[in-house]
Amino acid sequence: MVKQFLSGCLLLVACLTGNAQSNQLEYYVENALQNSPLLKDYQNQVTLNKYDSLLIRATFKPQVMGSSINTFAPTIRGWGYDGAISNGGGFATLVGVNQALPNKKNLQSQFENIALQNQSISNTSKVTVQDLKRSIIGQYISAEGSLEQLNVNEEISGLLGKEEIILKKLTQSNVYRQVDYLAFLVTLKQQDLLVKQLAIQYKNDFNLLRYLCGITDTAAVLLQNPDIRLKPLPGITQSVFFKQFTIDSLKLINNKKLADIIYRPKVNLYADAGFNSTLAYSAYKNLGTSFGVSLIVPIYDGQQKKLQYSKIDMEENTREHYQTFFVSQYQQQINQLNQQLTATDDLIADISQQLKYTQSLIQVNGKLLQTGEVKVTDYIIAINNYINASNLITQNNISRLQIINQLNYWNR
C-alpha cells in the first residue's frame, strides 16, 4: 500500500516536471510587459498628446467658414416691419476668414504643458513596469521555491522508500519489532503526503504566474533557478519614483505661465467676401468684401490671477510635503530590507551547518539500521530533523530572493 502511494506521488511529480520545457525568469517578465494593457494605454496617451499639440497649432491657422443668412420681410397693405429697419429683407452668402495672431510665449507654455504631460505619462509607465516586474519576479520566486521544496522532499521520500525495504526485511528477521516498523511507515506516509501537497502548491503557484503574465499556454514547464542578484542603489534623486515630484513641480511652474497668458492682449484679423444685399437696389452690384482687426485687452476680473497663484502655491506646498515624506520612508524601507537580508543570510548559514550535521547523522544511522544497531525511533528523529532543516533552508532561500527583489525594485 505504501509503495503504491509513493509511486502515485512520484508519477504526479513526473507529470509536472518530466518531459517539460524549461523557461527562465526573463521569459515571463517579457510576456507580462508585452501583454499588459496598462502599458499599452500609456503608449496611446502619449500618442493622443501629439494630436493635442497639432490641435493647438491648428487653432492659430486661418479659420475659414462659409455662411448664408437670407430673410424676407414683406409689407402687405401697409402692414409689416418698418422698411427702414428691415429693408424688406436681407440676403447674404459669405466666406469669412479669421486669423488669431499667435503669441510666442502662449504657444511655448501650451507646448511645454503637453511635453510635461508626456514626461509624467512616461515616468508613470516606468513605475508601472517596475511594479509589474516586482510582481512577476516575486511570483516566479514563489513558484520556483515550491518546485525546489518539491524536489528536496521527493528525494527524501525516495531515501525513506529504500530504507523501508531494508527495515521490512529486518523486521521479518526479528531484528526489529513490528511496532518499530509501523512507526517508520507513519513517517514515510507523512512524507509522501507532504510531497503530494507540495506538488499541488507548485502547480497553483505556477498557474498564478502564468495568469499574471497573461500566458494561456498550459504545457508543463520546469522553472529554472532565477539568477537574482542585489544591485547597487542609485541616488534617490535619480529614481523614477522621485522624478515624478520634479515633473509635478515643473507642471505647477508652467501653470503660473498659463495663468499669465489669460491676461495678455489678444489680436485677431478677420475678413469676409461674398454677396450681401437687400435686393432693393442694383443687387447684382452687392458683391464685395470686408476686413478688420479685433483687439481684446483684459482690464479687471476680480483678481482671479492672484487667486489662481494662491491655489498653485498651495498645491506646491502639498507636493513638497509628499516629497519629504517619500524621502523619509524610502530610506527607512531600504534600511529595514538590508537588515532583513543580513539576518536571513546569517540564518541560512546556521541552518546549512545544521543540515550538514543531520545529513551525517542520517548516513551513520542508515548504515547502523542495516545491521540493527540503532533504534528506529532515533533514526526517525534524525530523519525528521533533516526534513525540517531542508525545508527551512529552502524557505529562507526563497525569503532571501524576495528581499533582494524588493531592494532591486528601487533601482531598476
Return the domain boundaries, the chain.
Answer: 2-68+96-264+303-408
pLDDT at 1 over 70: no
Query: For residues 295 and 101, what is the distance between their CA atoms, to the nearest angstrom?
Result: 10
Note whether 42 and 225 are within 8 A (CB).
Answer: no
Query: For residues 158 and 146, what is the distance between their CA atoms, to the nearest angstrom?
Result: 18
Candidate ranges 54-68, 191-205, 220-234, 368-382; pick with highest mean pLDDT: 191-205
CA 45 to chain centre: 16
Q: Given this model, what pLDDT does residue 29 score?
A: 92
What is 2-68+96-264+303-408's CATH number?
Answer: 1.20.1600.10
Higher pLDDT, 23 or 109: 109
pLDDT at 11 over 50: no
Mean pLDDT on 186-196: 91
Higher pLDDT, 278 or 307: 307
User: 94 Cβ partners below 8 Å, 6+ apart?
Assistant: 66, 67, 68, 272, 273, 274, 275, 276
Q: Given this model, what pLDDT does residue 110 score?
A: 86
Q: Given this model, what pLDDT does residue 5 score?
A: 40
Q: Given this model, what pLDDT does residue 210 score?
A: 93
pLDDT tens digits, one per residue of 140-185: 999 999 999 999 899 889 888 888 888 888 888 888 888 888 988 8
List of long-range contacts for 200-205, beta carbons under 8 Å, 24+ apart: 201/146, 201/149, 201/150, 202/16, 202/143, 202/146, 202/147, 202/149, 202/150, 203/16, 205/139, 205/142, 205/143, 205/146
Amino acid at 264: R
- For the chain, the average pLDDT equals 85
Q: Given this model, what pLDDT does residue 12 score?
A: 44
Grid cell 542578484 in the structure block, residue: 229
Q: Given this model, what pLDDT does residue 406 score?
A: 94
Q: CA separation (Å) from 46 to 122, 132, 133, 197?
A: 8, 20, 22, 48
Grid cell 524557505 in the structure block, residue: 395
Nearest one of 317, 257, 245 to 113, comparing CA atoms? 257
Q: Given this model, what pLDDT does residue 58 score?
A: 84
Grid cell 523486521 in the structure block, residue: 171
Note whether 255 and 229 are within 8 A (CB).
Answer: no
Mean pLDDT on 319-338: 94
Q: Given this model, what pLDDT does residue 175 score?
A: 81
Which strands, in side-by-side order, build the sheet including 63-72? 63-72, 89-100, 266-277, 287-296
Mean pLDDT on 88-109: 82
pLDDT at 53 over 90: no
Grid cell 539568477 in the structure block, residue: 227
Query: For residues 68 and 90, what is the distance between their CA atoms, to the nearest angstrom?
Result: 10
User: Sorting pLDDT into bands at 50, 70 and 90, what band is 89?
Assistant: confident
Higher pLDDT, 300 or 329: 329
Q: Given this model, what pLDDT does residue 412 score?
A: 60
